Amino acid sequence: MNIFECIRNRRSIRKYTEQPIEFDKLTKIIEAGTFAPSAGNMQNWRFVLVTDKNVIKNVHEHCLHQEVVYNAQALIVVCGLTEKAERLYGLRGKRLYTIQNCACAIQNMLLEAHALGLGTCWVGAFNEDKINSIFNIPENARPQAIITIGYPNEKPKHDRKDLSSVVYFNNYGLKIKDLHLLLRDYSVEWKKQAKTLEESSEKGFKKIAGLIKRWLHNNLKTRKFFDRKL
């Protein structure tokens, strides 16, 4: 699987089989997280790996009872350390960079899991205080997300906006016509041309059918005229 295939085919998986996950796969996923970029290479993330079913059920209680958590075979609680980030970069480091660093690590982990045949879901809706107390997370760390993991038991479809509706050129809001041509995505052009051809041949067929109908009609009228004369 190449990188684009992996990115493109990953989906949030919320239903998992009962199959346990190999431990080396879990460690590989976390390792992928640690290779993410981070501001000033701070690597100010920490990961709590959870495989205990009782703990998973307890966490589920504090994630709006989302089934995705209950069904998971493992969880990774991703925490961001804010102290160093604030010391180095002020409020921007504390609020923005720590979140971004963790988000990069999370995406790396989702992709690695997908490449290993596992399904994941990024869960952001949880009661932070309860999660802090379940895992004894200290004051200087903040749980950013919980990643649920398991072997997939569903195959969700793609649901993405067109590039042309999310890309601007040189200025926010500036769109260009036929963006696909600039991006060398000729599939859109082929589809457009095939549609025009289909429509014009449909029009052509309709025109010929009309001519034949008219000819038959006139022919019938002539025959009736001569029949009457004879």
Ligand X SMILES: Cc1cc2nc3c(=O)[nH]c(=O)nc-3n(C[C@H](O)[C@H](O)[C@H](O)COP(=O)(O)O)c2cc1C
Which residues are at the interface with ligand X (CB under 6 A)?
Answer: 11-12, 14, 66, 68, 121-125, 156
- How near is the Cβ of 24 to ligand X at its closest, in Å? 25
**Cβ closest to ligand X, residue 154 vs residue 198:** 154
**Cβ closest to ligand X, residue 29 vs residue 121:** 121
- How near is the Cβ of 144 to ligand X at its closest, in Å? 9
**Cβ closest to ligand X, residue 81 vs residue 121:** 121
- How near is the Cβ of 13 to ligand X at its closest, in Å? 8
**Cβ closest to ligand X, residue 128 vs residue 202:** 128
The tokens describing 213, both together, are 């109908």
- How near is the Cβ of 146 to ligand X at its closest, in Å? 8
- When CB distances to ligand X are compared, the closest residue is 124
**Cβ closest to ligand X, residue 88 vs residue 100:** 100
**Cβ closest to ligand X, residue 4 vs residue 225:** 4
Residues whose CB is less than 8 angstroms from the CB of residue 114 and which lie 6 or more positions away in sequence, other chains included: 6, 9, 10, 120
- How near is the Cβ of 183 to ligand X at its closest, in Å? 21
- How near is the Cβ of 156 to ligand X at its closest, in Å? 6
Rounded-to-integer distance, Cα 16 and Cα 73, Å: 8
